[in-house]
Amino acid sequence: MSKRKNIQVRWHGRGGQGAVTAAMILAEAAFEEGYRGVTAAPFFGAERRGAPVIATNRFSWRPIRTYSLVVQPDIVVVLDETLLDVVDVTAGLASEGLVLINTAKKPEDFQFRHAFTVATTNAEACAQEAGLMVSGAVISNTAILGGFARASGLVSLESLEKALAHHFHGEALERNRQGARLAHERTNILGECRLECA
C-alpha cells in the first residue's frame, strides 16, 4: 500500500456539472467514514457555464490545517472526458495515483504518460437511469461518487449515502443514491488503487 499523511483529490469538470457540489459531498462522506480532517475547495477561472472548473479535497485521519488548492493530487476525477483534450488533468498526479473518468469507454482506451491506475464509470448513463435530470440535462456528479468509492476504496458506499442525505430528501435522495449505487456497480478499473491514508 502507498500510505499518505492525507489523501488529495482534484476534480475536473465544466461549469454547471456540479464538481464543487461533488467535492463537498465527498468531504462529508469522508467525515462519515471516520476521517477527522476534511476539506473541500473550489477554484473558478472564467465563471461561465461550460468553462473548465476545478474543485479539490483533502482528507486525513487527523485534523488538516492546509486549505490551499491541491496541486499534487493522489486522485483525479474527470466529470467530462472532453476535458482530456484541453486540460492536462494528470498534472502533478503521483505516479501511483488514480484517474477516474466519466465515460462509456474502458480504462484501457486511455493512454497517459505514466502508469496510473485508471478507472472508468459511465456516471452519465447511471444518472439518467436513476432519473437524475434537471431541465432535460443529465446531472452525473453524485453518481460518479459511487465510482469514486469503488475505484479508490477510501470511502464506503454507506458513508456516501449518509452524506447524500445532508443534501437531498425523499425521492431526490433515493434517485441520487440509486445513481451512486449503479456507478459503484459498473466501475471498471485497470490496475489496483493502492492508496491508503496513514
Answer yes or no: is 196 within a domain. Answer: no
Answer yes or no: is 197 within a domain. Answer: no
Answer yes or no: is 55 within a domain. Answer: yes
Q: Low-confidence residues of the chain, pLDDT below 50?
A: none
Answer yes or no: is 107 within a domain. Answer: yes
Q: What is the pLDDT of residue 106?
A: 97
Q: What is the pLDDT of residue 32?
A: 97
Give the separation between CA 184 and CA 130, rounded to whole angstroms. 13
Q: What's the structural domain count of the chain?
A: 1
Q: What is the pLDDT of residue 47?
A: 56
Answer yes or no: is 115 within a domain. Answer: yes
Answer yes or no: is 49 within a domain. Answer: yes
CATH number at residue 131: 3.40.920.10
Q: What is the pLDDT of residue 114?
A: 85
| Host domain of residue 158 | 2-189
Q: What is the pLDDT of residue 29?
A: 98
Give the separation between CA 185 and CA 178, rounded to whole angstroms. 11
Q: What is the pLDDT of residue 104?
A: 97
Give the separation between CA 176 and CA 166, rounded to whole angstroms. 12
pTM listed for this prediction: 0.94
Answer yes or no: is 195 within a domain. Answer: no
Q: What is the pLDDT of residue 44?
A: 63
Answer yes or no: is 129 within a domain. Answer: yes
